[in-house]
Amino acid sequence: MNLKIVEKMSARLGLLACGVVMMCGCTAEIGRKPFESDVKCLREQMGTAMQLSFPIAANTCQRMSDHNFVFSKNHKHPQPLPLKLRGAPDLQKMADEYGYSYTK
């Protein structure tokens, strides 16, 4: 009898934890979301209520060569990948101004 209660409780806690993680992933302050373009990420970061500057938004959105994995081949020396700013001349101008590399 006690085993069934433990199984139900752990299942409920697991569902609760998954729900919290999924809801937190929707806020702009979390950073880059999976499968999101660099342009969309930058616009979301700079358009939040905090009005982040371009360098802070770029650091939040920029991908790294180790794909942000802790255990990878290049975990000691990951390199930032160029931002993909195709079709966003305003963001390209800011990237030039602050010295960020990007692809058109």
Q: What is the pLDDT of residue 92?
A: 95
Asked if residue 62 lies in contact with residue 83, where contact means CB atoms within 8 angstroms, the answer is: yes
User: What is the value of pTM for the model shown?
Assistant: 0.63
DSSP three-state, residue 84: strand
Measured CA to CA, the distance from residue 102 to residue 104 in angstroms comes to: 7
Output DSSP code: residue 67: T
Q: What is the pLDDT of residue 47?
A: 84
Residue 68 structure tokens: 């942000």
How do the pLDDT tens digits run along the chain, 104 residues long?
455 655 666 667 776 766 665 555 555 556 677 788 999 999 988 887 767 899 999 988 888 776 656 565 656 677 888 999 999 999 999 999 999 999 98
Residue 94 structure tokens: 């800011």
